[in-house]
Structure 1
Amino acid sequence: MATLSEPAIRRAASDDVARLGALQKRAYVKYVPRIGTEPQPMAEDAAALLDDYEVWVVDGDDRDVLAGALVLRQEPDHLLIWSVAVDPTQQGTGLGRRLIDFAEGQAQHRSLGQIRLYTNAQFTENRALYSHMGYVETGTEQYEGRDLVHMAKKL
């Protein structure tokens, strides 16, 4: 449950589309120079995310912006974290970890024994954070010119 200092994580609605797209761009733009292209979440159409995935958001102090977003997809045997986006002004506050903890809670609530995610191989800080949180690298693949690292955590 959110406290006064922690806005609630809520299911995204159709009126969040523009704010979600803007957040995805703000959160991932720092990686463009490193990988030479837009990371997949930055390039994805926000309306399509709401249609194709389960999207959870955290409102910012300003109602016109989102502080964070979590994009999930349920599979038969696991929950996939497709994206965790945190506004640059909120990075380092624990919001990203809170969103991941929420995703893990959703997987447990659904009686799924595993949660998975993938990240760009060049996002070394993300790989280190996920490893610290108990995620294990399970494989790599090349997808649309991106080198991805798959990670999983047993719950």
Structure 2
Amino acid sequence: MTPSLRLATPHDQQIIEQILRDAFSRYIVRMGRKPQPMLDDYSDPIKDNKVYVVERDGTVQGTVMLATDHEAMHLEILAVAPSAQGSGLGRMLVEFVDDSARKAGYHTVKLHTNVTMVENIAMYSRVGYVETHRIEENGFNRVYMAKNLG
């Protein structure tokens, strides 16, 4: 079945948080603590229409959270259930972010990830993101990246 993307609802919060736990728990040992996506409360971003889910075969299998400022769209969180990783859903979500940014009039998408998440850094690099800087912030060693949409 073809995947479909939609705004998350409060009913989706539990499965979103489960996907985030499942997708990010492998980094706990590397980081020595839970990654930020496992710590945040998603109820307000869901209510504010900033969170989307991707469904396939009637099941939520991925999520993405967006934010904006005066200069860019921000890819705040992107996660795919481990059972669906490698199936193209991550790329679909990245393309959705790019399209959303263009439709909103932005020419840049920004994100940050943890330096220990080398797989994520490599994936974002493959789809056009370039590292802009690294910084220690709130106890996390973060890599900031940006993508010019042209």
Q: State the TM bucket, normalised to the shorter chain.
A: over 0.9
- Aligned pairs for 1:5-154 (under 5 A) are 5-51=1-47, 54-61=50-57, 63=59, 66-154=60-148
Secondary structure, in 3 states, of the residue corresponding to 2:85? coil
- CA contact under 8 A between 1:31 and 1:39: conserved in structure 2? yes
Q: Aligned equivalents of 2:28 and 2:47: distance in 1?
A: 26
Which blocks of at least 5 consecutive residues in structure 2 are unaligned?
none
Q: Aligned equivalents of 1:78 and 1:84: distance in 2?
A: 17
Q: Percent identity?
A: 34
- CA contact under 8 A between 2:7 and 2:49: conserved in structure 1? no
Q: Aligned equivalents of 2:2 and 2:35: distance in 1?
A: 28
- CA contact under 8 A between 2:7 and 2:51: conserved in structure 1? yes
Q: TM-score, normalised by structure 1?
A: 0.90
- CA contact under 8 A between 1:70 and 1:99: conserved in structure 2? yes
Structure 1 runs of 4+ with >4 Å offset = none
Question: Per the alignment, do residues 51 and 144 of structure 1 end up closer, same or farther by CA in structure 2, a change over 3 Å counting?
Answer: farther
Which blocks of at least 5 consecutive residues in structure 1 are unaligned?
none
- CA contact under 8 A between 1:78 and 1:116: conserved in structure 2? yes
Q: Give the partner amino acid of 2:13.
A: V
Q: How large is the RMSD of aligned CA atoms in angstroms?
A: 1.5
Q: Aligned equivalents of 1:54 and 1:125: distance in 2?
A: 25
What displacement does 1:6 show? 2.5
- CA contact under 8 A between 1:18 and 1:46: conserved in structure 2? no
